[in-house]
Structure formats: structure tokens, C-alpha cells
Chains A and B, each alone.
Chain A
Amino acid sequence: MMTPQQKLAWYNLTVTGVTLCLILIAYPLLGRGALGFLGFLGLQGLGGLFYGKKKGTVTWDEREQQIHSRSILAAWAVLWLYLSMACMITWGIHYFYQHQYVITIDVLPLILFGAGIFVVLTQSIATLVQYGRERGDAKD
């Protein structure tokens, strides 16, 4: 049986994966219009429903908290690495290939969406890896 945190991690991974697949499939047909599928990422907001309180059931304890904290830490580290790389690469490409010191305005939202995707992916994977590592004998 999965904890709400595990369910949320799987849910976020699924939503992100499906969204990226839809974009890849639609891109040859719609071009940049396919990026509109990024709106599907908003479905992650429904993840809070996994924490619906069932009477008498404990859904959050110190171990859940520890796993959550470590996952956030991993996501935070990846976020800064991503932002550093994204900024250097984006501006670098524009400078070296177009000899411009500015980037086009439509690149900025994509960088932000990319940051969100990286954070969610890293946090979800880190969460699932920790549960997998701690998986023990489930027998009563």
C-alpha cells in the first residue's frame, strides 16, 4: 500500500510524462503551438487530494517528513543547476550564433516551465527512490 506522498510522486511523474509526450507528438503538426500542452501541468494541482483525511488513519509522520525534506533538498539543488545552465546556454547560443546580447521574449516562459518540470521530476524521483531504498518486509 502506498502512502499519499508516494501516490503524489507517481501522479506528478505521470502528468509530467504525459504532457511531455503530448508536446513531442504534437510538435511536428502544431509547431510552437504544441507548447500549449504545457497547460496540462496544472493538473498537478489536484495532487493535494491524495492527502484527504481518512478518519483514524495516519498519513504523515516523521519518516514521511524526512523523505519529503530530502526530496525538496534534491529538487532545490537541481533547480539551481538547471537555472545556471539554462541562463548560460541560452544567452551563450544567442551571443555566439546571432551575435546578440538579448534573448527573444518567448524563451523566458520556456525556461520557467523547464524549471518547474525539473523540480517536479527531481522531487518525485527522489521521493520514490527513498521509498524504494527503505522498502522492507511487508509481512505482518
Chain B
Amino acid sequence: MPKTKITNRIRRLRFDRNEMTQQELAEKVSVTRQTIIALEAQTYAPSLTLAFQIARVFGVGVEDVFQDDGDEKASE
């Protein structure tokens, strides 16, 4: 099974939302700030639940926040 890497735009979206801090986002989705750091560093792929929660905080769809590199390869 090919391994896909989940990338995200959380950092960009945070700055677009009045420079929301990592701590503020962490509190909104009930995770530790370290988890947000790991997500932004693309070293941790979140569960579906957390992905939806994060997308809801930013008021966008999940696919606007998270992408997997298979998406890019497929569109090439």
C-alpha cells in the first residue's frame, strides 16, 4: 500500500485569522499546543475527528486545510 503524506495549511490559516496563536487553536480543538506544532511541522497526521474540528474553527472544508500528496500526483 503506497504511503501518502498529509500536508496542511494550518499555519497559513492561523495567520489569516487575526494571527491566531498555536495555543488558541489548541484550546479551541482540545489538544495540546505540541500537537498543533507537530501538525504544522507535517510530522503528525490527525484523526478525522480532529481534522474536522480544525477545519470548523477556520470555517472552511477539511480539504481546504489538509491535502495528501496523492492529490498533487493525481492532478499532475
List the interface of chain A (C-beta within 8 A of B).
Answer: 1, 3, 56, 58-64, 131, 133-138, 140
Contact = CB atoms under 8 A, between A and B. Distances in A.
A63 B27 contact: no
Interface residues of B, number: 22
A133 B31 contact: no
A64 B32 contact: yes
Nearest to A137: B41
B18 interface: no
B46 A136 contact: no
Contacts of B33: 1
Contacts, number: 53
A63 B37 contact: no
Q: Is the interface of B mostly helix, strand, loop or mixed?
A: helix
A52 to B, nearest CB: 15
B34 A62 contact: no
10 contacts: A1-B34, A3-B34, A58-B32, A62-B50, A131-B34, A134-B43, A135-B43, A136-B37, A136-B42, A140-B23
A136 B41 contact: yes
Nearest to B22: A140
Contacts of B37: 135-138
A59 B32 contact: yes
Given A58-B26, A58-B30, A140-B22, A133 B43 contact: yes
